Amino acid sequence: MATGKDGSGNNKRSSQLMVLFEKQLQEMLWSEKALVEALPQMGKEASTDELVNALQEHLQETNTHVQKLEQVFKSVEKNVQTVKSLSMEAVLEKGKQMMQECEKGMMCDAAIIAVAQMAEHLEMAAYGTLAHYAEVLEMREAKDIFVQILDQEKNADKKLTKIATSVVNVEAARQEA
């Protein structure tokens, strides 16, 4: 068991895990803000009503996630800061590239769903990790917020899967390249 500077083991707020927690929190705030910018562009490129609606709904949730992450910073008495998430940056760059390379229609919708799900999966991993860190660090409010956001990310992923498997991927498979 790691101990605090006084050797007691009671100094969790200055622990190595707290350092990881804060960095991950900063990266997630950057990621959510980047998604607030990227989701409207994905929505403009999408052609399927269900996908456009799902992206608009998730944009609203993502705006709320930004606010909730800022609330977590305050609850753990840290300054609100962002650190660029190289993983999310790579996913969003991949999305831009894919959208530039395809015509509007089912192929582009399939690409948008793929990129959106890559982002969702990154977020699910990060929020699951943050929830566990918060639990270990005895930050109940932060843990509850991360679990709530994680549930929303899972639901968004399920919705994208349904759109892909029921409409978009089936139609894209039927169309000539």
Give the model confidence (pLDDT) of 102-121 as tens digits. 888 999 999 999 999 999 99
Contact by Cβ (8 Å): 35, 87: no
Place of tokens 């929190």: 25
Q: What is the pTM of this model?
A: 0.90
Distance, in Å, from the CA atom of 110 to the CA atom of 155, rounded to the nearest integer, reads 18
According to the model, what pLDDT value does residue 114 have? 96
CA torsion, ordered 120, 123, 125, 129, to nearest 10 deg: -160
Triad 87, 90, 94: Cα angle to 5°: 145
Contact by Cβ (8 Å): 147, 123: no
Contact by Cβ (8 Å): 146, 134: yes
Distance, in Å, from the CA atom of 25 to the CA atom of 41, rounded to the nearest integer, reads 25
- Least confident interval from 35-39, 57-61, 104-108, 131-135: 104-108
Contact by Cβ (8 Å): 10, 26: no
Residue 8, classed as helix, strand or coil, is coil
CA torsion, ordered 10, 16, 136, 67, to nearest 10 deg: 120
Strand ranges for the chain from DSSP E: none
Q: Which domains does the chain have, with CATH numbers?
A: 30-75+85-174 (1.20.1260.10)
pLDDT in tens, 44-73: 999 999 999 999 999 999 999 999 999 999
